[in-house]
Structure 1
C-alpha cells in the first residue's frame, strides 16, 4: 500500500547558505519576515501564493528551487499551523511509513537534488546506520523530521499561523477578465491580511470526517487526526482502567487500537468495524504500479465512468485496509486472550465486527459516553459505556469550495449549464476562458482523486507532481 499514513546524493548546485545553516537556492524568493507588511503586494502581486504548507506545497517549493528559475519570482506560502508539522496526531511510537523512502519529495524527479531522503540522512550523519536497518520504510517519526528539515530551507518564504478564509477574483480597474486573485487571511494575532497573486495553489488537506451520529461538542470524541496530540488531555491517568472505543477499519484505526494497549496498560478497548474482518492492504508489486506517476495520464484520459470504476477497483490499496504485519500482531494478541479465557466477553481487548454505531450520548451522570451498537446482520442492539471514542473515519476534501466561493461564477459550465469544480490534467481549475486571463489561475492539490486517481492524496507522486506544477505555473 502506497499510503502516506497509514506514507543518497549530495546536490552539486551552487546554493547560498542562509544564516541558519540551511541551503536556499538562488531560484527561490525570500520575503523578509513574518512581521513584514505585505501591503505593497497590492501594487506588485506575488507570482504564486500557496495556501497550506504541507508536503504538497513543500514539493512545489523544492521543485522551484531545483529548477533554478528566475530568482525574481515572488512566492509565498501561508500555513495555519504555528510551525511545520505532518500528521502530528498520528506520530505513534514505532509506526512506520507505508511507502518507500525513494518516493520522497525529490528523488523520482531528480535523485541529485539536495532534498532527497538519503541526503537528509547524510546531512544528519545517519546514512550508514539507516542502511544497516535493511528497510525501505523509515519510522514515521523520522520521515516527519525529514519533511521538517526540508521545510526549514524555506522558512523565510512561509507565514505560519495564518488561516486563509477566502480567495477572491481581481479585475484590472474592475473590468475585463480576472488578472489576479486576492488572498484574505487572519494571522496569529487576529489581524486580517490581504495579498494578491497571479497564481494560487490550494493545498489545504482534508477536514475530519466525523459521522453525524457522534456529538461534535464533546472532547471525549477524538478524530484520529488529533489522537496523539490530545488523548493525554482527555485520558490523563496512564494507569487508569479506562474503556475506549475505536471506530474504523483502516490503518489509522488499527494503529490507534494497538497504541492504546501500550499507552494505557490497564485500559479496555473495542475496535468497532462494519466488516466481517479487518482486511489486508494490497501492496504487491504489480498492483502498486497504480501509484506510478505516468498512471495519472492514463487515468485522467479515461471517460468519467471508467475512471470511477478503476478507482473503485483499486481502493483496497489505500482505504479501509491494514498492513499485514499489524494484522498478524493484532490477531496474535487476541489469540493470547483466547488461550487464557475462551469467553470473548471477558477479554480486555476485542474487535467487534459487523457493527454500526447507532447512537452516542452521555450516560445519566455524564461520566461516560453511552454507545448503542447495532449488528448489521441480526439487527440486535447492545449498549456499552466508554471513557473516550476515537473516530478513524477519514477525511472530507472540500474545503477549497468554501475558500473559492466568490470565484464560482467564473467556472466553466457543464452540459446542464451548472458550474462544476473541474480541473485540467495540470490541476488547474477550469474557469471560463473569457472570464480569467491566461496568465492567472488557481490550482488544486489533494482534492482531485476523482480525476487523477488514488495517488492524489498520498505522498507517492509528490516529487514528480511538484515539478509538473512548477512547469505549469512558471512555464
Structure 2
C-alpha cells in the first residue's frame, strides 16, 4: 500500500500549531497532520491561576487575525457554548486564561488533523518518488507503537521550555521549582511557611499574588526579589503595541544580527513586564493588608540578584547582592519559586539532521523571512518554525496576536497560492526611514 505523503506535518500542538491546523482545516487541496506527545491540549495548565487573563485581546484567538469568518474563532466558540450575551455584558477584551484554554481544547477536538498522545522521536529525510521528503517517526504513548509519516514540509511548534539558571539547578525539587509547575506543586507544599519568589515577569507576579492571598488568613511570610530595576509594567500603550505588528517584523528582519541582538536587550518591557492590572492588584492587596500599620510579612526588593540557593537544615539559604550598592544579601526560605522565564529549545528529534541545519554564531537557528530554517538539506520543502524566531523576527515571536499572521505566511508558501491575503500596512508609525516619493518630470 502506497504511503500517504502529507503536504505538511506539524510537530507539537500548542496555540500556534493548533491555529495552523484550524486555518488549514477548510483547505481541501492541502493535507496536514499534527502530532503532540500530550494526551490532550492544555495550555500552561499549572499557571491557570483563578482570576488570571490573557495579556492580549480576544481577537488574538487561533484564527481571527487571518480569517474572521472561520468557524474556529473565539466568537464562534462563544456562540456554540451559548455565551455570546454573557461575553457581551462582560465588556472585556482580555478573556480569562481558563476560558482561552477551554476554547483551544474545543478547537482541538474539532480537528481530525490533530493527533494527541503521539511523541515525535526522529525527523530525517529520504528520497521518495524522485523527491527528497521528510520522514517523521513518532511513538504512540499508549501502546508504544512506532509509526513513520512522510511530508513535504515540517512545521515545528514545540514551544519554549522553562529556563532555570545553572546555579539553581541542583536545588530543584519538591520545594524549589519553576513557576510553570506552580498549581501542580501548590497542594503539596506548605505556603504557610516562608516563601521566596524570584523574578519580575507576569508569571512571577501572578504566583506572588496568589501566595499572598493564601497567606492572608493562614499566616506565613513572602519575599519577592528581582534583579531588574523594578517591578515595572509591560509596555501597553497603543503606539507601543504597534511593535507587535507585521510592519515591525519587516523592519526588524532586515537589520544586521548584531543590531537585532542589541535591540532585543533593550526591549524587555515590551514582552517581559507585568500587566498594569496585576501590579494594581498587588498594590491594593498590600495596602489592605497594612491597614492599622499591620506588618503583612511581605518583602519586595528589586535590583537584587540571587546567585546561590543552598540547603540549610530544613530550609534554603539564598545568597546574592544588591546590584547598585553591591551590598551582599542573604535570607532564608522554606519554599523557593523561580519565575526565571523560558528559553527556546532545540529538539532531540533533529539530531540526525543537526549537521545539515545552519546555526548562527550563538548556536541559534538561522531563519528566513518566511519562517523557514536555513539548511543544507536537498529537499524541495521547508522546515518552518513557530515561536523560535525572536532573534530574527523580533519581539512579536511569542505574541499570540501575531500567530495567525505567521500561519498565513507559512500556509501561503505550503499551498503555493495566496490562501490568506497578507496586508501591507498595519500601523500608523514608521519604524525605518520613510521612503520619500519620487517626482518624475
Q: Same fold (TM over 0.5)?
A: yes
Query: Partner of 1:325 in structure 2?
Result: 277
Say if 1:409 and 1:419, in contact at 8 Å, map to a contact too.
no
Q: 1:424 to 1:284 in 2, by over 3 A?
A: same
Separation (CA, whole Å) in 2 of partners of 1:271 and 1:253? 9
Q: 1:437 to 1:310 in 2, by over 3 A?
A: same
Q: 1:474 to 1:331 in 2, by over 3 A?
A: same
Q: CA deviation at 1:172?
A: 4.5
For 1:5-16, list aligned pairs within 5 A: none
Give the TM-score taking structure 2 as reference length.
0.86
Q: CA deviation at 1:84?
A: 0.5
Query: Partner of 2:209 in structure 1?
Result: 258
Separation (CA, whole Å) in 2 of partners of 1:276 and 1:431? 40
Say if 2:35 and 2:116, in contact at 8 Å, map to a contact too.
yes
Say if 2:108 and 2:114, in contact at 8 Å, map to a contact too.
no
Question: Which of 314, 334, 344 is the aligned partner of 2:267?
Answer: 314
Give the TM-score taking structure 1 as reference length.
0.80
**SS of match in other structure, 1:48:** strand
Say if 2:59 and 2:401, in contact at 8 Å, map to a contact too.
no
Query: Partner of 1:20 in structure 2?
Result: none
5+ residue gaps, structure 2:
417-441
Task: Report how many residues are paired.
Answer: 412
RMSD (Å), alpha carbons: 2.5
Separation (CA, whole Å) in 2 of partners of 1:69 and 1:369? 58
For 1:76-475, list aligned pairs within 5 A: 76-154=33-111, 156-172=112-128, 179-189=132-142, 190-214=144-168, 215=170, 217-235=172-190, 241-265=192-216, 266-319=219-272, 321-337=273-289, 339-341=291-293, 347-364=296-313, 367-400=314-347, 402-411=348-357, 421-432=365-376, 435-438=377-380, 440-475=381-416
Separation (CA, whole Å) in 2 of partners of 1:425 and 1:283? 26
Q: What stretches of structure 1 move > 6 A for 4+ residues in a row? A: none
Query: Partner of 1:54 in structure 2?
Result: 14
**SS of match in other structure, 1:443:** strand
Q: 1:421 to 1:325 in 2, by over 3 A?
A: closer
Say if 2:359 and 2:365, in contact at 8 Å, map to a contact too.
no
Q: CA deviation at 1:443?
A: 1.1
Say if 1:86 and 1:144, in contact at 8 Å, map to a contact too.
yes
Q: CA deviation at 1:264?
A: 4.3
Query: Partner of 2:435 in structure 1?
Result: none
Separation (CA, whole Å) in 2 of partners of 1:250 and 1:163? 31
Q: CA deviation at 1:112?
A: 1.3
**SS of match in other structure, 1:351:** strand
